[in-house]
Amino acid sequence: MRATASILPLKILGALIVRDGRTLLAIDDMTLNAGRRTVVLGANGAGKTLFLKLCHGLIAPSAGSVRFALDGGRVAGADGLRKAHAMVFQKPVLLRRSVFANFTHALGMVGHGLLARRRLARAALGRYGLAALADRPARVLSGGEQQRLAIARAASLDPELLFLDEPCAALDPTASRQIEDMLQALHADGVTLVLSTHDLGQARRLADDILFFDRGRLVESGPASAFFGNPKTPEAQAFLESRLFW
């Protein structure tokens, strides 16, 4: 059961990521609110993955601040202090173990005891249609199965906020739809979602809000309906029209 206290909103102010004198990411002012599905858009190299890693705490800003409502993005749960946000990468990071063991290992890392790990792992496998794969080595699964496993494993940790970096990249339409169904189910359960994608159709189906990056800058943000119906910047207009721009 998710703790009552919320880590959201997440506020980013004047954040920069600078490497070798080059600014790779620049965000003046941005807020992620609870309960929303935020889709991150932009061309290759626009800064989408950097943004997700910044929010998740995998990289620190060179300047500015990234602050959760609860300092550090941690809440007190049944097993003590735990991180309340998780991230799923474009290429799933899976252990050389069975599907079931991938769940129990992750659950053990956040402090669950042996019986709780097994119970929660079985529940997640059943919830996301992975029970038949429980004993198979995780790394021999198909790409779609691996991504479903990675998302289900993250969901089993009971995050309030889930970041996903192009979760449907290189997947066929059926596998992509299965992933979208999982994300819609998570959102219905109250999980706040932030995901990057190159699929504008997927963005239209899933997004409540859009964050649009161009060459490392957050240049447009707001409701998805406004972004797709009346983009405010020439960069966003060009992106939606599939025109190259520099």
**CATH number, residue 59:** 3.40.50.300
Q: 75 or 138: which carries more pLDDT confidence? A: 138
Strands of 63-68's sheet, edge to edge? 63-68, 10-19, 22-32, 217-223, 209-214, 37-41, 192-196, 161-165, 85-88
Domain of residue 236 covers: 10-93+159-240
Residue 154 lies in a domain: no
The reported pLDDT for the residue numbered 76 is 60
Per the model's pLDDT, the better-predicted residue between 133 and 72 turns out to be 133
Residue 79 has pLDDT above 60, yes or no: no
Instruction: Establish if 230 belongs to a structural domain.
Output: yes
Residue 136 lies in a domain: no
Number of domains making up the chain: 1
Which own/partner contact pairs does 74-82 have at CB distance under 8 Å and 24+ positions apart? 74/7, 75/3, 75/5, 75/7, 75/160, 76/3, 76/5, 77/2, 77/3, 77/158, 78/1, 79/110, 79/111, 79/112, 79/113, 79/116, 80/111, 82/110, 82/111, 82/157
Give a yes or no: residue 107 inside a domain.
Answer: no
pLDDT of residue 83: 76
What percent of the chain is predicted at pLDDT more than 90? 89
pLDDT at 1 over 60: no
How far, in Å, CA of 233 to CA of 54, rounded? 24
Query: pLDDT tier at 154 (50, 70, 90 boundaries)?
Result: very high
244 torsion bin: left (phi>0), alpha (psi -120 to 50), beta (else): beta
* Token pair listed for 115: 């019986």
* Percentage of residues of the chain with pLDDT beyond 70: 94
Distance of CA 163 to the CA centre of its chain: 1
* Mean of pLDDT over the chain: 93
Kindly state whether residue 153 falls inside one of the protein's structural domains. Answer: no
Rounded to whole angstroms, the Cα distance separating 22 from 203 reads 30
Q: Please report whether residue 163 resides in a domain.
A: yes
Asked whether residue 118 is domain-assigned, the answer is no
Least confident of 3-7, 121-125, 160-164, 216-220: 3-7
Residue 111 inside a domain? The answer is: no
Q: What is the mean pLDDT of residues 15-24?
A: 97
Confidence band for 225, pLDDT divided at 50, 70 and 90:
very high
Q: What is the pLDDT of residue 161?
A: 96
Beta pairing partners, 85: 161
Q: How confident is the model at residue 53 (pLDDT cuts 50, 70, 90)?
A: very high
Q: Between 82 and 171, whose confidence is greater?
A: 171
Statement: residue 78 has pLDDT above 60: no
User: Once rounded to an integer, what is the mean pLDDT over residues 196-219?
Assistant: 97
In the predicted structure, residue 72 carries a pLDDT above the cut 90? no
What pLDDT is recorded for position 82? 64
What's the rounded Cα separation, in Å, for the pair 56 and 148?
20
Confidence of residue 47 (pLDDT cuts 50, 70, 90): very high
